[in-house]
Structure 1
Amino acid sequence: MFTTINRKPEIDYDDTTGVVLEDIKGDVELRDVSFSYPSRPEQLIFDGFSMHVSSGTTMAIVGESGSGKTTVINLVERFYDPQAGEVLIDGMNIKSFKLEWMRGKIGLVNQEPVLFMTSIKENIAYGKEDATLEEIKKAAELANAARFIENLPNGYDTAVGQRGAQLSGGQKQRIAVARAILKNPKILLLDEATSALDLESERVVQEALSNIMVGRTTIVVAHRLSTVRNAHCISVVSGGKIVEQG
């Protein structure tokens, strides 16, 4: 137990060193990246993988399960570091940035949103600690969530229950979108953000995502055609390489 407590992680969120810029454009590049997960070091996910997403554009990543789509998102968020090659934002290696600051510029919406056992307001506010109620309401509006929240008996003070058990899948996902958008990120990462939803919920959430993707660098991992149809560029990943792009 003490070994675990005393372990110094290689990627340390509390590390206060590192570069802090005034702002970023949001240009994202993976250059000659080789990567395997620590739990399966012998299985290379990427071997010389390269991808470039220009600032303000949307890149969709499609491909079969296990091809490395979500790995792109894990590397851009710096949940892992590649064994070789570089992940760059605005031409700078992300290892040189202060981690907390860098993640503050990135919004992430996962397939399974994590909601905490507290109010809707506080769940959205996790995106930005000093957010005002006005900002929270604006984020909820952009996420197509304001109407259903205001119709709840306690509005923004409604408790969501354990893991958001009081809400439907579409409602949970819209709260996750509101949380991501609250910090006004320059880079938006969407990992199968609508794949667990029924068609009607997907339409509402997709509409919300389309509203917030404008002018941001967006990387979308998806299986559904409806999610990737309006992307500026679609990359097909297979066996850890981009096999087609257009």
Structure 2
Amino acid sequence: MALSPGQRHNRRVALEQQLKAQQAADMAESLHLQIQALKTDVEMARALPTNAEREAFKRDVLIPRWQPTVDAYLASGNEYGNPVFSWFVVWLFDAGYLDKALELADVAIEQHQATPDNIRSNFPTFVADTVMAWAEDTAAMGESVEPYFSLTFEKVTQRWRLHEEITAKWYKFAGLMLLRDDNGQPRATAVDDPETLEKADALLASAERLYKKVGVTTQRAQIAARLRSLAKEQ
């Protein structure tokens, strides 16, 4: 007996609902298995005795192993709490792959992904703290912090809602970077351009407004003295 148009429609809807339910069940089971494997890999990394060995394990083993899983998740267009994706982003930072790490961190933030259990902060705070630590180490070695510092500075100051102390540290670092001498030390007397000095002072002032204890009083006084000295020389 032929089905009426209404019956065919109802049957098609029922089949579609069954398919979606099966797909959801398959996804849940797949994620469960992934999380179990993920826990094993995380414990293996933690068991390594040195930071260098842990970083190498993440770079050479974990990232290649989990890259296809993360790629498949991103390609699917589905969004859900995905601890595999969250750990992958953290591993990218740990391995020093800042380009990809920052790219995927933006996705994690947009999706409101939770950071792994051992990280108490949310993703914006984690990224801000991690990139700042990297920038401090890199600058101390006399190397450029760009483009990663500026990319993250814009997000820290314009997009993300962070604790004032964290944002203040970013403004402070940006200001001190403008004062660095040939040895990489912030020194107002090494700067001959009043505009650069004023820009540095504005950044330090922003830091101080956000967090009084950020520690820029001495640097600002030195900038003011240097500006006075340059004005007398004109």
Query: What TM-score, normalized to structure 2?
Result: 0.26
More helix by share: 2
Task: Name the structure with the higher strand share.
Answer: 1
| Rg comparison, structure with higher value | 2
TM-score normalised by the chain length of structure 1? 0.25
